[in-house]
Amino acid sequence: MSKTYFGTDGVRGAVGAPPITADFSLRLGWAIGKLFSRRGNGRILIGKDTRVSGYMLESALEAGLLSAGSDVGLMGPMPTSAVAYLTRTLGAAAGIMISASHNTYHDNGFKIFDQGGNKLEDALEADIEAQLQQQMIGTASDHLGKAVRINDVAGRYIEFCKATVPRGYRLQGLHVVVDCAHGATYHVAPGVFEELGARVTLTGTSPNGFNINDGCGSSHPAHLAKQVVAQKADLGIAFDGDGDRVIMADHKGEVVDGDELLYLIASERQRRGILGGGVVGTVMSNMGLERGLQSLNIPFVRSQVGDRYVLELLRRKEWLVGGEPSGHILCLDLTTTGDGIIAALQALTLMVDSGKPLHELKKGMAKFPQAAVAVQLNGAASAEVLERAGETLAQKKKTLGDGFRVLIRPSGTEPVMRVMVEGEDRQEVAGIAEDLGAVIERAM
């Protein structure tokens, strides 16, 4: 289904350029209000991350909702997963998160949840786009909505996260570095780990509107790894700007990505008898994850890139656990969307129960070397660009054989073409990725 505004994860783009403008935000609020205000208790929640543009977009979105007759609950800076959780538990009609996830402050966007805390299905996104095409007509004064600030959301969400681990579970004795990427988890993640007994060293918890994801967080795990070694901590945990991704680092400063965390979570759940089927990864998931799960007799299938596609496949197969190498991890028996804090707690359960460090536990999965290249696009990727990349790939296969796996795709969240190459030889993999990236760059 062709859509004008919605991509693979809501609406996203550069601030000040359509559609990430105040006037579009106003119209979007009105459209959502028209469609959703009669559901649940009629209130629509708004959360945001720490970008400076959040003030502008929140105000315009609120005005649009109120003009459509919707009541509004303002949450302030909160993780995306908290917006989903509180939309469901507070009986709201819908929830809206203002965020561009792992992107820098230059971008922003909107993620929308239905009253069950689920990201919208294609049909509902199409309904919103259709409503956006209608003339914006406000309601009469006696039917305008009202806005209130919900002051206890952080405490509610912290208690929810703590309740996702077994009763009596403690992190006593663990020294953990927590990197909040100067984003939406800055005032909730520390409380979760501290209240569970961990000694916590913080980084990335001083947002100023401009430093979100800037050289820190899950997109820049080297910062976390360096801090773990410097602090002589047991491990580190890094979130992205809106808290739906998590990446870790072990005590040696080695990064533990989403594939490895997914392996640890699945293996621990299998041991406890609560896995609930198999695991869904994506076409970007490392072959090491697939083989590691096979060694445990855990079924594994791949979806398209994007947590919404992971979610769709999990629901179709009636499984519970899935995720992406980037750190989007879904545990559907606990929450409805990717949640970095909850995923981290799931992985830490294995550390606590086994008494083994993260560095040792991750050895159960042997990763294949991967190389990734992102080529900036000047517009839509043309068929000619993909054809030239395909020709180069065919030549590589003639000389090197089929001992590698290649994925070339346009990003669903940024104007780049992504190239991923995986194989047994690290230098060979890196060379193929660079060659393909250069071909695409020249073609553009």
Q: Please give the C-alpha separations between residue 246 and each of 35, 126, 227, 274, in angstroms, as whole numbers.
A: 33, 30, 16, 22
| Bond before 19 cis per omega within 30 degrees | yes
Measured from the Cβ of residue 151, the count of other Cβ atoms closer than 10 Å reads: 10
Based on C-alpha coordinates, what's the Rg of the chain? 22
Cα–Cα dist 291/238, whole Å: 26
Q: 259: part of which helix (H) or strand (E)?
A: helix 258-272
What the block records as the tokens of 196 is 């569970």
In degrees, to the nearest 5, what angle opens at C-alpha 217 toward C-alphas 211 and 219? 105
- Is 101 known to be catalytic? yes
Q: Which residue in 84, 19, 34, 95 sits closest to 64, CA to CA?
A: 34
Cα–Cα dist 201/225, whole Å: 13
Which residues, including other chains, have CB under 8 Å from residue 77's CB and lie 6 or more apart? Answer: 47, 48, 49, 50, 54, 184, 186, 187, 207
Q: Please give the C-alpha separations between residue 197 and each of 200, 278, 343, 354, 438, in angstroms, as whole numbers.
A: 9, 32, 18, 17, 49
The catalytically annotated residue of 53, 67, 81, 101 is 101
Q: Where are the beta strands (DSSP E) in 114-219?
A: 147-149, 175-179, 199-203
What the block records as the tokens of 274 is 């609560």
Residues labelled catalytic: 101
